[in-house]
Amino acid sequence: MIIIGVENMHNPMMIITQKITSLAYEIHDGMFRKDEELTSSQRGLAVRRMPSLLEYLSYNCNFMGILAGPLCSYRDYITFIEGRAHPRAPPGAAGKEDLPGDRAEPSPNVAVIQKLLVCGLSLFFHLTISKTLPVEYNIDERFQATASWPTKVVYLYISLLAARPKYYFAWTLADAINNAAGFGFRGYDENGTARWDLISNLRIQQIEMSTSFKMFLDNWNIQTALWLKRVCYERASLSPTIQTFILSAIWHGVYPGYYLTFLTGVLMTLAARAMRNNFRHYFLEPPQLKLLYDVLTWVVTQVAISYTVVPFVLLSVKPSFMFYSSWYYCLHVAGVLVLLLLPVNKTQRGKPTHGNVPLSPSEKCDDRGNSLEQNSFSTTNNVCNQNQEIASRHSSLKQ
């Protein structure tokens, strides 16, 4: 899980770390590497000249994202600051093209209001329901001794579900603040509606309805996932999955629970990928069988995610191992057995491996993107592709 501890005081340092490292690699790609050595996303985000001191400090310390982010690329930020973020409005209803030089100035008011409503609901749930369902109750001795296994599974899921609204609140509020300042516009959809999700950090519906580990990770803390992909996963030559998860743990802090969560996440991600590759194609037809598959994978995914992130919430070693031992390390054992017994298709990063297998609408959202569906570290591929398109547009504008 890629999570920002919103309650921690070191959040600004975490955000600035992301920005400094991102900009360093973008400058390196733009000024010290040949274009043919870069991936399409690296080429689109590359910075071709050294930023001035004012630009550098503005990018790292601007008021919109200093406390809770979200991270944005330097190119997107400078394009916004220089007033080049708003393309011409789409053709009118009658197909009439805009006049040359006519530029739309879309209002963020609707997007901001919607996000503030989400913030309000998230805060309400956090202050009411979340307090009554503590994650720590999973390791309560009386609960462990008396509760049945179905009860333990259900409470594990519900308690971790109740722990998420505080992240929904913080990330959505940060997104709304940027939108209110005019940052975050990503063009228009096919209906001509302005889209304000350029730097959005999560998609709540997709998170809660995830039917795979990848789908969950693709929609949770999106900008951090992109940062990890750009600075580590794409550049690591040996075990990029393990290196990326370890980097994520180090970036979060020194609590042992972070490392237990991310090391478990490596195992869960690899095992989930192997299961999907080996069994999914048997359940695509008929639709009733596909529905059953979706329901089963939703249950397994939600339980596996909850099981994985318990140490992240508990933080300390002893309570984390108390929880895992109360579950007899069952999902760890299952993950190891899956990797030992099932063949694992090794694919190159950046190469899609779907073939012509039909996808359901939810899986089209899950599988849209370029390279990493078959990679064990799953990042936000669909958002990355969208950012690549925007970066390419910014590049053409600069020229």
Residues 264 and 332: beta-carbon distance below 8 Å: yes
Locate 300 and state its tokens.
């397994």
Provide the CB-side half-sphere exposure for 343 (13 A, CA). 5
Residues 71 and 15: beta-carbon distance below 8 Å: yes
SS3 105: coil
Residues 22 and 69: beta-carbon distance below 8 Å: no
Locate 67 and state its tokens.
């406390």
Q: Which residues contact 191 (CB under 8 A, 6 or more apart)?
A: none
Q: How far is the C-alpha of 103 from the C-alpha of 334, rounded, in Å?
A: 56
Per-residue CA distances from 175 to 169, 171, 189 (Å): 10, 6, 19
Rg, the chain, Cα only: 22
Of 60, 179, 201, 252, the active-site residue reads 252
Per-residue CA distances from 160 to 33, 136, 281, 309 (Å): 44, 10, 31, 8
Give the alpha-carbon dihedral of 65, 367, 280, 293, to 10 degrees.
60
DSSP class of 233: I
Q: How far is the C-alpha of 352 from the C-alpha of 180, rounded, in Å?
A: 37
Q: How far is the C-alpha of 371 from the C-alpha of 381, rounded, in Å?
A: 7
Residue 256's closest CA among 304, 307, 308, 312? Answer: 312
Number of separate helices (H) and strands (E) present in the chain: 19, 0
Of 138, 179, 221, 375, the active-site residue reads 221
Q: What's the burial of 346, exposed, middle or buried (CB within 10 Å: 0-12/13-18/19+)?
A: exposed
Q: How far is the C-alpha of 3 from the C-alpha of 202, rounded, in Å?
A: 11
Q: How far is the C-alpha of 313 from the C-alpha of 42, rounded, in Å?
A: 34
Residue 221 catalytic?
yes
Q: Which residues are catalytic?
A: 221, 252
